[in-house]
Amino acid sequence: MNEEIFNMSLRKFLKKVGVTSQREIENAVRTAVEQGTHGGTQPLPVKVTLNIDAVGLAVEIDGTIEVE
């Protein structure tokens, strides 16, 4: 395995995940607030599931996003 290529590819993927996730979360929260389904002040429990079937990886990452 070429560590340099692996590391660069991993960082590129994680950047894509981060940028895409932030955009999707912001849009969903704004829409929920506009539609009145979220008050806009309560913390949001969040869960991400990371899977890489080829190596048997399945990890759930839990957290909270503060809105106010």
pLDDT for the residue numbered 15: 98
- pLDDT value at residue 65: 97
Structure tokens at 20: 């895409």
Q: Quick one: pLDDT at residue 68?
A: 85
- Classify residue 38 as exposed, middle or buried by CB count within 10 Å of its CB (0-12, 13-18, 19+): middle
Return d(Cα 51, Cα 61) in angstroms, integer: 11
Per-residue pLDDT of the chain (68 residues; tens, 9 = 90+): 999 999 999 999 999 999 999 999 999 999 999 999 999 999 999 999 999 999 999 999 999 999 98
The whole-model pTM stands at 0.86
CB atoms within 10 A of CB 33: 14
Give the integer Cα–Cα distance in Å for 38 and 23.
18
